[in-house]
Amino acid sequence: ISFYTFQTISYTVDIYRGRASVQKSFLQFLLFVSLFSQLIAGPIVRYTDIARELASRVLRFSDIAHGLRRFIMGLFKKVAIANSAGHLASVWMNRGIESQTVAGAWFGALMFTLQIYYDFSGYSDMAIGLGLMFGFHLPENFNYPYIARSVGDFWRRWHMSLSSFFRDYLYIPLGGKHRHMYLNLLIVWFLTGLWHGASWNFVLWGLYYLVFLVLEKSLPGRLLRRLPSALGHIYLIVVVIVGWVLFYFTDLSEGLEHLRMMLFMEDLPWFDLQIKISLANNLYWILASLLFCAPLVIWFKKMLQMVELRLGSGAGNLVMISASLAGLVISTVLLVGQTHNPFLYYRF
């Protein structure tokens, strides 16, 4: 409902502002508001994004092939990484204080940090891929958010269709940074939290990011920009991991208790045998998952271009087809052995 509602709001407002023409075909309007690939969990598609394609689409083999590869990549993210990280997050985030360790509390939060990124970006990849296969070019929703060095940069990269919606349809009309900036930010981030759920943990999560955005726009933000890039990145990752703890627990008291365990406010051991075993058994795929939070796909495409220059376009196509088939086979094998794991953003 939330994605559908935002899309119809964007259509109505754009018509009112004169930025779009009224869609006179009921069937084409119905297609816009019910486009199945992204209806449940985004990206949020504005009418102006696909108005031309609603009227006349051209199906190209290159788009279908690219869409299929994108869909497989999203499926792999969900099945091979997000579900595995989600299992570990469930184990370590829901441990009681009597059996938890400091390392275990941080490990659980890190696993949820990986789960929600690969789960949500995986769905967006699948939605964009399906759109391409039907002739629609849907907007990108993620741009490697975990490589950001500030909270502001993170939110320009994470769930970009939601961030830009609130910017264009709420923040700027309220006055943006030119009039009552801090009040405008408060309204936007209160509603951002509330959009994710009518629960105090989501409201607190939105206000939590508001605090850091306000700090970054003042003196601490100017100091942050002078830090070495590595320190800025560490700052962002710690802020995000703590934020996801608030997001994870709908019971606010449980979330705050988990944060106390992470921040050495409880009398807990640092490590125990179980966390060491869990780290040892999952180390390699976790490291690979952390690496793939960086723009390795862009690097891979550049390498393919070099291969094609030396060996011809057939060699690059062979590599892409082989990688896609491998991803599809691995995802299918894992799907057969797993129980039902719905996408996290189906809840919102």
Active site residues: 196
Of the candidates 136, 144, 285, 149, the residue with the CA atom closest to the CA atom of residue 216: 149
Is residue 151 within 8 Å of residue 133, measured between CB atoms? no
d(CA 142, CA 160): 6
Of the candidates 146, 103, 140, 123, the residue with the CA atom closest to the CA atom of residue 264: 103
Residue where the block lists tokens 């961030």: 163
Is residue 193 within 8 Å of residue 206, measured between CB atoms? yes
Give phi and psi for 135, each to the nearest 5: 95, 10
d(CA 1, CA 128): 19
CB-neighbour burial class of residue 286 (10 A; exposed 0-12, middle 13-18, buried 19+): buried
Alpha carbon of 204 to those of 133, 164, 211, 224, 339: distances in Å? Answer: 39, 21, 10, 24, 32
Q: What is the DSSP string of 202-241?
A: HHHHHHHHHHHHHHHTSHHHHHHHTS-HHHHHHHHHHHHH
Which one-letter DSSP state was computed for residue 40? T
Residue where the block lists tokens 């504005």: 46
DSSP 3-state percent helix, strand, coil across the chain (nearest 5) = 75, 0, 25
Show Cβ contacts of residue 115 under 8 Å, excluding neighbours closer than 6 positions.
82, 85, 86, 89, 344
Is residue 338 within 8 Å of residue 75, measured between CB atoms? no
